[in-house]
Copies of this chain bind each other. A is one copy, B any other.
Amino acid sequence: MQIIPFLRKTGEAPFTDRGIKKAGQLLKQWNGEKVRGVAIAGAPLSKTSISHSGAHLSPQTIRSMMQSFSTYSIEHEKDMWDTVITDFGDIEMHVTDLFESQSRIHSVLKEIQEEHREAVVITLGGDHSVSAGAIQAFQETRGRVGIIQFDAHFDLRNTEDGGPSNGTPFRQLIEKGIITGDQLIQLGIRDFANGKLYHEYAKDHGVTVYTMGDIKRESLLVLLKKSVEQLKQTTDNIYISLDMDVLDQAYAPGCPAIGPGGLDSESLIEGIQWLGQNESVKGMDIVEIDPTLDFRNMTSRLAAYVIMQFTLNYTNRKHSV
């Protein structure tokens, strides 16, 4: 093949600096081989949202925001260039049959985690409804799950009024007997963002709830340590479900359900760093970012940073690969 100098393929970066590697390049499209370490999979479903949501666009946006970071952590003086983050691609959603779409999320994530037992899959929503299938698949392949849910909301709504939506994933898991309430710890629950009935449901089912008031009084890190200790008593592995709307509207302007009174991004990052190091954390999802509402992709940018910080700390674990 003839080569023409200065002609580059469509889609290649317009400029390359020999001294900077882009985090986006750590993403390697899955090639069918056995996967170890951190991986991502897109679950681009947001037609299941109660309000209009473009959250299905966020897997692609988060990937492109990875490209705005480099591979080098100066705080750890570590270049992650040799780390592979496997990209399993996106789960294909049905145009009109949303239950089929939800079923595909479950079955694909189950198949992935069955085949790739050393992989820590980060599922990129989509809205929070994707967590129901994702967590079920996690437990079916990884043993009894302990869930740390960052969220302003319980997501324990009844499923009769609107079916399995982004307001119901944890209710679905409990109702179907996939988890019991003690497997679930919710952090960041906020005033005037939830119904009393669902708080009662949480209490009745033994769900642990830490409010923003709790976080302000005790600090996120202290509560995370408590949570992991508690979950390790009764579960095999910990799964993080990160609804970005746990953050204050000033830090996550691109979530459909923005509001005041939430977490700051510095605390969240600190929390993720700690969880990344923790041996028991084996699964994660990042949900509820609508790129059509965001400002300059700030919220997807933060999600990409979360992935990098998690992966960095994960690779520092004693037995990590």
Stretch at the interface among A11-19, A218-226, A281-289: A11-19
What residues of B have a CB within 8 angstroms of the CB of A20 in the complex? Answer: 157, 194-195, 197-198
- Complex partner residue of A68 from B75, B89, B259, CB under 8 angstroms: B259
Whether A4 contacts B112 in the complex (CB less than 8 A), given A251-B250, A258-B301, A305-B260, comes out as yes
B98 touches A209 (CB 8 A): no
What's the least CB distance linking A206 to chain B, in Å?
17
Given contacts A95-B163, A161-B16, contact A9 B195 (CB under 8 A): no
Query: In the bound complex, what is the Cα–Cα distance between A190 and B199 (angstroms)?
Result: 40
A73 → B minimal CB distance (Å): 5
Q: Are B162 and A17 in contact (CB under 8 A)?
A: yes
Which residue of B6, B17, B23, B73 is within 8 Å of A108 (Cβ)?
A: B6
Asked if B295 and A295 sit within 8 Å, CB to CB, the answer is: yes
Residues B269 and A1 in contact, CB atoms below 8 Å apart: no
A205 at the interface (CB under 8 A from B): no
Interface residues of A in 155-209 (CB under 8 A from B): 157-158, 160-165, 167, 189-199, 201, 209
Asked if A19 contacts B88 (CB within 8 A), the reply is: no
Task: Say whether B305 contacts A261, CB under 8 Å.
Answer: yes
Q: What's the interface size class on A, roughly? A: 35 or more
Pairwise interchain contact A258-B162, C-beta atoms closer than 8 A: no
Query: Which of A9, A15, A97, A99 has most chain B Cβ within 10 Å?
Result: A15
| Cross-chain contact A74 with B18 (CB below 8 angstroms) | no
- Interface residue? A319 (CB, 8 A): no
Complex interface bits, A57-74 against B, C-beta within 8 A gives 1, otherwise 0: 100100100001111111
In chain A, residues 250-303, which have Cβ atoms closer than 8 Å to a Cβ of chain B?
250-251, 253, 257-261, 265-266, 269, 292-293, 295-296, 298, 301-302
Of A46-54, A133-141, A227-235, the one contacting chain B is A46-54
Q: Which of B52, B56, B76, B192 contacts A305 (CB 8 A)?
A: B192
A7 to B121 alpha-carbon distance, docked (Å): 14
Among the listed B3, B10, B54, B199, which residue makes an inter-chain contact with A63, where contact means beta carbons less than 8 Å apart? B10
Report the minimum CB–CB distance from A290 to chain B (whole Å): 10
Residues of chain B contacted by A27 (CB below 8 angstroms): 10
| Chain B residues near A68 (CB-CB < 8 A) | 257, 259
11 contacts between A and B (CB under 8 A): A6-B92, A19-B158, A20-B194, A50-B95, A52-B57, A69-B259, A75-B213, A77-B196, A250-B250, A253-B296, A292-B292
Cβ-closest 6 pairs across A and B: A1-B32, A95-B162, A96-B163, A19-B197, A69-B192, A20-B195
Footprint of B on A, CB under 8 Å?
1-12, 14-21, 23, 27, 29, 31-33, 41-42, 44, 47-48, 50, 52, 54, 56-57, 60, 63, 68-77, 79, 81, 87-99, 104, 107-108, 111-112, 115, 157-158, 160-165, 167, 189-199, 201, 209, 211-213, 216, 248-251, 253, 257-261, 265-266, 269, 292-293, 295-296, 298, 301-302, 305, 308-309, 312
